[in-house]
Amino acid sequence: MKKVVKFGGSSLASAEQFKKVGSIIRKEESRRYVIPSAPGKRTPDDTKVTDMLYSCYGQAILGEDAERDFEEQLEAIKERYNSIIRGLNLDLSLDEEFKTIRTNFSKKIGRDYAASRGEYLNGIIMAAYLGYEFIDAAEVIVFDENGNFDGDKTHKILSERLENTERAVIPGFYGAKPDGSIQTFSRGGSDITGSIVAKAVHADMYENWTDVSGFLIADPRIIKNPKPIDVITYRELRELSYMGATVLHEDAIFPVRKEGIPINIRNTNAPEDKGTLIVEDTCRKPRFTITGIAGKKDFASITIEKAMMNSEVGFCRKVLEVFENNNISIEHMPSGIDTMTIFVHRDEFEEKEQDVIAGIHRAVEPDFLELESDLALIAVVGRGMRATRGTSGRIFAALAHANVNVKMIDQGSSELNIIIGVRSHDFDAAINAIYDIFVKTMI
């Protein structure tokens, strides 16, 4: 058995949290490759080290005028790490590392370098604490000269490096370009690093440890004590992540999915919880018809009507070209015989609204065009819907009972998800109604 384990910032925010992580890793010999994030918040009012580094680098860019603030902030970052080292009773000094950081900050080497030092330094501490080999991610995670991740080169280099490495700590979040300059993934990118390492070592499991016990069926800020999700497929997770579920970085799915490696989302503060298992497919019957509910606000819709639309060759293409020419991405596009509605992000659309409307009129000469803003989209996702009749009907009934007007409903051909459009002010009520009918009434 071979596992890759990634620990998030809240799991490594202090020496106390480090000790929890150490106990988890030592409990199973199979936890051989460790991916640490930078230290997160110790308390709600605390500051993440990554944010401290960004701020410190900002002072460095200002030069001599901000030299005092720069030194104070760098010293505060150093103390965060030294407090962890003291708490773990390690014979370790980061003085030379901080000298290098100070020099590189003064050279204005780049924001990506600045941000990556959080994971880099935490990786050094973690390796010393566990007695594992430390491997700088800049040596094994490859980006091209344009800053795009190079999966093939990374896999080759990383596989060769780890082939004879029994146990290692590899910092998350960053890698390097061909010229050696540091390049980071987007926020939460340590999840991606863990997935890349899991693929490289052909892991049996990728454990992602955070401060929650896996995914919940719905947002706990909307639903009181929502039920946890025990098992979810990659396709279901992709649908929920796209609509706002944020426990795992959505790009972390792809490297392990191709290899059939499951992901287990676990809670560092409650290691006895089994968490959520993410798999390619499962014959296990789900407890509920739906697996999860997620959604986003701040959408706008453009409804276009024209007689004989369905007979006009290229009608949809002409409309879509208008949005493409204005660099606006389309979220959903339900249609009828003589009508089509396009949902877009409101912030993308508002500044180009007049250009889009004029473009549509020129392109297809519609009989009627209507705009609506302040809309929300909700995704109801679940493999159990395929084998259950009347799911859409139950959703409509639940929303009607809650006095929620449905602006749009769109079901994918896979029967894995149903997208519902509602007014933003009905968003919470809609999610509550759907949760109640599919989960609460079944408990």
Summarised one tens digit per residue, pLDDT across range 190-208 is: 999 999 999 999 999 999 9
Judged against a pLDDT cut of 80, whether residue 401 lies above it is answered with yes
CA distance 365 to 312: 12
Tens digit of pLDDT for each residue in 12-29?
999 999 999 999 999 999
Q: Any idea which fold 3-211 has?
A: Carbamate kinase (3.40.1160)
User: Helix crossing, 67-87 with 111-130: angle to 10°?
Assistant: 20
Q: How many CA atoms lie within 13 A of 104 on its CB side?
A: 18
Q: In what order do the strands lie in the sheet with 3-7?
A: 133-134, 168-169, 31-36, 3-7, 205-210, 263-267, 276-279, 231-233
- Give the residue ranges of the annotated binding site for ATP: 6-9, 210-211, 221
Using alpha carbons, list the distances in angstroms from residue 75 to 68, 94, 111, 248, 335: 11, 12, 18, 32, 59
Cβ contacts of 28 within 8 Å, gap of 6 or more: 3
- Between CA 104 and CA 116 the distance in angstroms is 13
Q: Is the dihedral of CA 411, 417, 422, 424 positive or negative?
A: negative
pTM of the model: 0.86
Question: What region does 260 belong to: left with phi over 0, alpha with psi -120 to 50, or beta?
Answer: left
Asked whether 416 and 390 are in contact (CB, 8 A), the reply is: no
At 90-140, the pLDDT tens digits run 999 999 999 999 999 999 999 999 999 999 999 999 999 999 999 999 999
Query: Residue 246: what pLDDT?
Result: 73
Q: From CA 410, how far away is CA 299, in angstroms rounded?
A: 15
* Residue of higher predicted confidence among 187 and 153: 153
**Helix, strand, coil % in the chain, rounded to nearest 5:** 45, 20, 35
Task: Tokens for 302, please give them.
Answer: 């453009």
DSSP state of 237: H
Instruction: Give the pairing type, strands 31-36 and 168-169.
Output: parallel
pLDDT value for 443: 63
Interval 148-175: pLDDT, tens: 999 999 999 999 999 999 999 999 999 9
List the alpha helices (DSSP H) in 249-405.
253-259, 315-325, 346-350, 353-364, 391-401
d(CA 358, CA 356): 5
Residue 302: pLDDT band (50, 70, 90) is very high
Rounded distance, CA 403 to CA 406, Å?
A: 10
Query: Which positions make up the binding site?
Result: 6-9, 50, 119, 210-211, 221
Distance CA(340)–CA(66), nearest Å, equals 56
Of 115, 217, 94, 256, whose CA–CA distance to 172 is shortest?
A: 115
Nearest CA to 142 out of 165, 118, 160 is that of 160
Side-chain half-sphere of 395: how many Cα atoms within 13 Å? 27
CA–CA distance, 297 with 424 (Å, rounded to integer): 6
Rounded to the nearest integer, the mean pLDDT of the chain is: 94
Quickly list DSSP for 392-443: HHHHHHHHHHTTPPP-EEEE-TTSSEEEEEEEGGGHHHHHHHHHHHHTGGG-
Lowest-confidence pick of 182-196, 209-223, 279-293, 341-355: 279-293
Expressed in angstroms, the distance from the first to the final Cα of the chain is 36
The stretch 237-266 carries a mean pLDDT of: 88
Residues of 247-268 as b/e, b for ≥16 C-beta within 10 angstroms?
bbbbbbbebbbeeebbbbbbbb
Q: Output the pLDDT for position 369.
A: 96
Task: Please name the residues in contact with 401: beta carbons below 8 A apart, sequence gap of 6 or more.
Answer: 433
* Residue bearing tokens 């929502």: 226
* Pairwise CA distance, residues 90 & 102, whole Å: 23
Would you state the pLDDT for residue 256?
94
CA–CA distances in Å: residue 116 to residues 29, 41, 94: 29, 17, 15
Dmax over Cα atoms in the chain, in whole Å? 78
**Residues tagged in the binding site annotation for substrate:** 50, 119
| Contact yes or no for 87/134 (Cβ under 8 A) | no
So where are the chain's domains?
3-211, 292-442
SS3 category, 212: coil
Which amino acid appears at position 285 of this protein?
K
Between 250 and 349, residue with greater pLDDT:
349
User: What is the architecture, at CATH level 2, of domain 292-442?
Assistant: 2-Layer Sandwich (3.30)
Given a cut of 90, is residue 275 above it in pLDDT? yes
